Each structure stands twice: as structure tokens, then as C-alpha cells.
Amino acid sequence: MRYLSTTLFILLAFMVKPVFAEDDHSLITPQVQNYIGYGAIILAMLLFIGVMLVLLKTFKVLTRIILKSEGYTEEQITAELQPAKKEKKQKAEVWQKLLSLRPLAEEKELLIAHDYDGIQELDNPIPAWFMYLFYATIIFAAGYLLTYHVFKVAPLQYDEYKTEMAQADIANKIYLSKAANRVDENTVKLTKDPTVLAAGQVVFKTTCVACHGEHAQGNVGPNLTDDYWLHGNKINDLFKTIKYGVLSKGMPTWEKQLSPKQISDVANYVKSIKGTNPSNPKEPQGTKETDDAGPAPKKQLVSVLVK
């Protein structure tokens, strides 16, 4: 009956909790509610253990009664109910050794010869487990000192950090170069990044000037600085023309010689030199093309408005 009421109380506490949680004006803060919840769980567990103990006791009493009715003596019953006694004792010995416990009978020998208002002190030894742990820390410290500071076999934290960062840097560079080389005529981006333009200029000076002229004014190939284009002036068009070439008209394919990144760089360089008006320009070829959608047309619009 007593347990029943406790169980009911706990159940009630669980059921009440959500109601509290929904009420903003509740005097019990959510934190306290949590504590109540935890308390209820712990209580339930304790109750469960209690019930188990009571059950165990009941079984023991029942066994005793049954055995008695079958004519066992009191000693036999006790022996029956507590088997494995020997093993238990051995375990206790190991336990006692580990804790360096001394039997109560030896307490007199352990007493320190002073007495403060009847309070006396026992000179118990330090537990063995603690001493083992302590020795282990000393051995560890010696090993640590030798490896990290004397023989320097392993790197210290900061060095480890530095090497890891360096590795990450290399990995990052490889990743970025790979990512840059994954570009094609569909994904190529127009950019004014000076490093990209400088790289593009290097490619242009080494591979393109023979046919397009020192200043891209045109030679065998067309002028690349004017407004007239045979194959389109969008960055994607330029990339495509440079990558695949126009073999029938004498513009080579660059797919094999240049990496996608180099093609992207030189295409951006070509875009950047538009309108530079070099001397001796080749006559215009193709159709006149306005610039890509971007900041440039806006500028024109502004100048028109100013006029």
C-alpha cells in the first residue's frame, strides 16, 4: 500500500510536469521542473531496488520455510542459502589489500598517541591503489620528459600544430589548383583579378603574339582589342575559341598545350585589353559586338545622359 502511494505520487509528478512547462506564469522555473523530474527518476530507481531487495528477502524466507518443512537443520539451511562463501572471502582479501585496509582487531596498533577531546586518529597506510597510481604518474612524467624535451623524439604541441598547418596549406593549394583547373567554357568566370590577368599576359606573350601581334593588334590572327569579333566576345566564347581553336582558319587548338586555368587566364587577359588601341591595328574582322552584360554598358548609359 505504501509503495503504491509512492508510485502514484511519482506518476502524478510526471503527468503534472508538462502542464507546468506550458504555463508561462508558473512559479516553478523550467530548471526546477527539471530537477523535480530527475528527482522523480532517481526515486523510481531507488524504489525499484527496494522492491527487488524485499522480493529477495521474501524468497529467502520462503526457501527457509520450505527447507525446514523438509527436515533440514538450521545449519544446513544457512549453508544452503550462502554458498560460494570461500570465493567471497578471497575477493574481500584482494579488495582489502588494494585499499590497504587493516582488520578492526588491529585498530589498537594503529592508534596514534594523541587524543583531542576524545577524538583519536588512526595511522592507516596510504591505500595501495593510490600508491600504484602515484608511481605510474612518476614513470609517465619521466617518459614524457625524455621523449619530448631530452631526446626530442616526438614534436611538441606547437611544432605539431605548425606541421599540421603546413600540411593543410599544401592540401589546400592542391585543392585550389585542381578546382581552378576544373573550369571549362560553361563555368569560366570573368574576373579583373590582377594575378589572373598577369598570368594570362604571360601565356599571351609566350604563345599568342606570333599570330595576334605583340599588342594583340592582329597579324595572321585578328585584332583582339577592337569591337569586332568572328566567334563572340563573351568570356565563354573566348574560352571556347582558345580551347578548341578554328583549325580551318589557322587558329590552333590550345586544349592540349594549356591547362584549363591557363586558358581561363588568357581569356580574361584578352577581355582586359579591349579598347587599348594599339598602333597598326589589323582591319576589323567579324561583327561589332557590345560588351558582356556588366558594369560597362551602364557607364555608356551614364555618358549618354551627360551628353
> Where do contacts with ligand HEC occur on this chain (CB under 6 A)?
204, 207-208, 210-212, 220-222, 224, 229-231, 238, 241-242, 246, 249-252, 254, 266, 270, 285-286
d(CA 83, CA 103): 24
Task: Decide: 201 and 224 in contact? Cβ < 8 Å.
Answer: no
Amino acid identity at 153: V
The distance of closest approach from Cβ of residue 243 to ligand HEC in the complex, given in angstroms and rounded to an integer, is 10
Return the number of the residue (77 or 254) whose C-beta is nearest ligand HEC. 254
Task: Enter the C-alpha cell of residue 3.
Answer: 509503495
Return the number of the residue (172 or 206) whose C-beta is nearest ligand HEC. 206
Amino acid identity at 134: F
Return the number of the residue (188 or 242) whose C-beta is nearest ligand HEC. 242
The distance of closest approach from Cβ of residue 246 to ligand HEC in the complex, given in angstroms and rounded to an integer, is 4
Within 13 Å, how many C-alpha atoms sit on residue 211's CB side? 11
Query: Closest Cα partner for 120 from 128, 129, 110?
Result: 110
Task: Decide: 239 and 263 in contact? Cβ < 8 Å.
Answer: yes
Return the number of the residue (28 or 230) whose C-beta is nearest ligand HEC. 230
The distance of closest approach from Cβ of residue 195 to ligand HEC in the complex, given in angstroms and rounded to an integer, is 18
The distance of closest approach from Cβ of residue 249 to ligand HEC in the complex, given in angstroms and rounded to an integer, is 3
The distance of closest approach from Cβ of residue 176 to ligand HEC in the complex, given in angstroms and rounded to an integer, is 23
Whole-angstrom CA distances from 298 to 141, 237, 293, 304 are 71, 22, 9, 10
The distance of closest approach from Cβ of residue 219 to ligand HEC in the complex, given in angstroms and rounded to an integer, is 8
The distance of closest approach from Cβ of residue 295 to ligand HEC in the complex, given in angstroms and rounded to an integer, is 22
Return the number of the residue (157 or 195) whose C-beta is nearest ligand HEC. 195
The distance of closest approach from Cβ of residue 188 to ligand HEC in the complex, given in angstroms and rounded to an integer, is 13
Whole-angstrom CA distances from 46 to 37, 41, 165, 246 are 14, 9, 53, 87
Return the number of the residue (77 or 235) whose C-beta is nearest ligand HEC. 235
d(CA 291, CA 301): 13
Return the number of the residue (197 or 238) whose C-beta is nearest ligand HEC. 238
Task: Decide: 147 and 153 in contact? Cβ < 8 Å.
Answer: yes
d(CA 187, CA 233): 16
Task: Enter the C-alpha cell of residue 299.
Answer: 557607364
Task: Enter the C-alpha cell of residue 122.
Answer: 588512526
- Any residues with CB less than 8 A from the CB of 138 and at least 6 apart, and which? none
Return the number of the residue (77 or 226) whose C-beta is nearest ligand HEC. 226
